[in-house]
Amino acid sequence: MAVPHVLIFPLPLQGPVNCMLKLAELLCLDKEIQITFINTEYIHQRLMNYTDVEVRFGKYPNFKFVTVPDGLPEDNPRIGDQIRLIIEGVEEVSSPLFKEMVMTTNSAPTCLIVDGIFTFALPIAKEAKIPLLYFDTISPCSLWTYLALPKLIEDGEIPFKGNDLDVLVNGMPGMEGVMRRRDLPSFCRTPDVDIPIIKHVIKEGKHIVQAQGLIFNTFEALEGPILSQFRALCPNIYAIGPLHTQMKAKLSSQRLPNTPTSNSIWKEDVSCIDWLDKQPNKSVLFVSIGSLATMSKAQFFEFWYGLVNSDTRFLWVQRPGSIIGLEDDNNNVPMELVESTKERGCIISWAPQEEVLARPSIGAFLTHSGWNSTLESIVEGVPMICWPYFVDQQVNSRYVGEVWKLGLDMKDVCDRITIERMVREVMDVKKIEFLERAKYMSDLAIASVGEGGSSYQDLDRLIEDIRLMRI
Ligand code: UDP
C-alpha cells in the first residue's frame, strides 16, 4: 500500500498561503504522511526572501515544495483588484501543471487539499479518482453567503432594489435578522449579477459540497450554527482552527521549540516590538489593512487625523503601495500629524502581526477584517474596529460587531470624526466591556485546540482520514 501523500495547493495570496503552510506543518508532524506543497514562483521567492520557511520545512524529510508559474507579468503587484487576474492565471497556467502532478504514476498523491476557489480541481480529482478536500481559508460565515447567492438572485434580493444598504436581507438560513445589504460580500453591490466574480463564487459553492470533505480555519464555539448549516450539505466538515494556535499547541505538546514563526511575503519590521514593550498595558491601537486592501490618499488622511485626534497611541502598518497616490505627494503631510505621531505613534511597513497582537500593550486592532487577522485578534483577546475592504471582509466585520460583539463595525465610513469616536469607544469608554468579551472568546478559541477540544478532535480525525486514503 502506498504511503499517504497529500498534494496541497493554496490560492497564491498571503492569507491562504499562511494558513495552508500551517496545516502542512501540522500534517508533517505525523511522520507517516508525505506532503507536496505547491507554491507559485512569485510567492515562493518572497517566502524564501523574508522567512525561515526553507530551514523550518527543511527539517521534515516528508515535506517538499514545488513551484509553478502564475501566468502574471513579474511586475504585477498582485494586490487589491488583481485577485481576479490571479485566479484566472492559476486556472490557465498553473492548473495544467497541477493536473500533471495529480496524474503522475511516480509517487502519486493519495489526497488533494486545495483552496475552495479552485473549482478546476474537482474534475481533475474525479478523473484521477483521488479524494479531494477543499480548504476554504475564508470564514464559513462568508462562504455561507456565497452558497446563498443563487437563491438571493432568484428571489430578487440581488441586485438591490433602491439605494438603501441598511435593508435586511432575507433568504439566508442561519443568518436571519443579521445581514443587511451592506454586510453581503462587496461584489453583491452590483447592478448586474452576470459578472465573472459572482459566476465564479456561485460555481465555487456548487463545487465545494461535492468534495470528500471541507476544511475550515474556525472553531465550533465561534461558528457552530453556520457549521451545522454546512454539515447538512457536506457532512464531512473539519473545523480545525484557529490554525496558528493549533500549531503552537501541537508544538508545545510534543515539546518542540515553540518560537514565533513567520510565513510573511513582506519583510517584517521587528523593531516595533521594542517600541510596543515600552508602552503601557492595553494602551496601543494596532492598525493594519492586511496584504491586499488599499485606501485612497483622502481616506489615508482621514485615518491619520482620526487616530491623532483620539489621543491614543498607535502602531500603524503602512504597506508599500497600499495608499494610492501617496508616493507623488510624500512631502505634503501636515506637520501637526508628523509631530503628534512622533509623540505617540509608530509607523512601519509590515509587522510580525501574530507577535504584535500578543503583546500586553495592545489594546485594540483597527483591521480590514481579513479572516486571518480576525482569528489572530480573537485568539489574543484583542477587540476590533472593523473597516472591511472587499469580498468576505464585509461579512466578517458584521459578525465581529453584531454577532460575536467583539468590536465595532465601521464599514462604509471613513471620516476622522467617526474614527476618533470609535477609537475612543473601544480604547476608553467601553474598554472593559470589550476586553471582557474578547477574553471570553479567546478562552474558547484556546480551549478548542487543547486536548479534547473541538478543533483538536477535528484535526485528529483529518489526520486519521488522510492516513486511510491510500491507493
Ligand atoms: N500580516 C502580517 N503583517 C502585517 C499585516 C498582516 O504578518 O503587517 C499577516 C496577518 O498576520 C495575516 C495575513 O497577513 O495572517 C493577512 O491575512 P488576512 O486574511 O487577515 O487578510 P488579507 O491580507 O488576505 O486581506
Give domain limits for the chain: 5-262+450-468, 270-446
* Distance from Cα 350 to the centre of ligand 1, integer Å: 9
- Write out the H or E segment, with its range, that includes residue 354: helix 353-357
* Distance from Cα 361 to the centre of ligand 1, integer Å: 20
What sign has the CA pseudo-torsion 267, 271, 274, 276? negative
Of 340, 267, 348, the C-alpha closest to 305 is 340
Cβ contact 265:43 at 8 Å: yes
Q: What is the pLDDT of residue 309?
A: 97
Cis link prior to 159 (omega < 30° from 0)?
yes
Name the H helices within 61-219.
83-89, 95-103, 121-128, 140-154, 196-208
Q: What is the pLDDT along the chain (471 residues), one digit of tens a residue?
A: 678 999 999 999 999 999 999 999 999 988 889 999 999 999 999 999 999 999 999 999 999 999 999 888 888 877 766 788 888 889 999 999 999 999 987 888 999 999 999 999 999 999 999 999 999 999 999 999 999 999 999 999 999 999 999 999 998 999 999 999 999 999 999 999 999 999 999 999 999 999 999 999 999 999 999 999 999 999 999 999 999 999 999 888 887 776 767 899 999 999 999 999 999 999 999 999 999 999 999 999 999 999 999 999 999 999 998 999 877 655 678 999 999 999 999 999 999 999 999 999 999 999 999 999 999 999 999 999 999 999 999 999 999 999 999 999 999 999 999 999 999 999 999 999 999 999 999 999 999 999 999 999 999 999 999 999 865
The pocket around ligand 1, CB under 6 angstroms, is made up of: 13-15, 18, 264, 288, 290-293, 317, 350-351, 353-354, 370-373, 376
User: Is domain 5-262+450-468 given the CATH code 3.40.50.2000 in the classification?
Assistant: yes
Cβ contact 376:242 at 8 Å: yes
- Alpha carbon distance 31, 465 (integer Å): 15
- Write phi, then psi, for 37 (nearest 5 degrees): -110, 120
Of 443, 41, 391, the C-alpha closest to 185 is 391
Of 236, 175, 245, 258, the C-alpha closest to 444 is 245
Cβ contact 182:411 at 8 Å: yes
Cβ contact 97:121 at 8 Å: no
- Alpha carbon distance 135, 114 (integer Å): 6
Could you tell me the pTM of the whole model? 0.96
Query: Bridge-partner residues for 8, per DSSP?
Result: 37, 113
- Alpha carbon distance 173, 380 (integer Å): 31
- Alpha carbon distance 210, 218 (integer Å): 21
The DSSP line for 283-335 is: -EEEEE-TTT--EEHHHHHHHHHHHHHTT-EEEEE--TT-EET-GGGGGG--H
Give the atom of ligand 1 at the shortest distance from the alpha carbon of 393. 25
- Alpha carbon distance 421, 259 (integer Å): 37
* Distance from Cα 147 to the centre of ligand 1, integer Å: 25
The arrangement of strands across the sheet holding 345-348 comes to 345-348, 313-317, 284-288, 362-367, 384-386, 407-409
Nearest-CA residue for atom 3 of ligand 1: 351
* Distance from Cα 369 to the centre of ligand 1, integer Å: 10
Q: What is the four-CA torsion angle of 354, 372, 264, 266, rounded to 10 degrees?
A: -100
* Distance from Cα 73 to the centre of ligand 1, integer Å: 23
- Alpha carbon distance 29, 255 (integer Å): 12
* Distance from Cα 203 to the centre of ligand 1, integer Å: 26
Joined together, the cell numbers standing for residue 11 give 490560492
Q: Name every residue whose Cβ is closer than 8 Å to that of residue 51 and which is 6 or more positions away in sequence.
A: 261, 262, 263, 264
- Alpha carbon distance 253, 272 (integer Å): 30
Give the atom of ligand 1 at the shortest distance from the alpha carbon of 319. 8
Query: Bridge-partner residues for 252, per DSSP?
Result: none
Choosing from 13, 14, 394 the residue with most ligand 1 atoms within 8 A of its CB, the one to mutate for a pocket test is 14
Instruction: Give the position of cell 509631530.
Output: 339
Give the atom of ligand 1 at the shortest distance from the alpha carbon of 263. 7
Of 268, 274, 271, the C-alpha closest to 288 is 268
Cβ-based burial of 110 (10 A; exposed 0-12, middle 13-18, buried ≥19): buried
What class has domain 270-446?
Answer: alpha beta
- Write out the H or E segment, with its range, that includes residue 140: helix 140-154
- Alpha carbon distance 18, 39 (integer Å): 11
Of 394, 395, 365, 368, the C-alpha closest to 379 is 365
In total, the chain counts a number of residues equal to 471
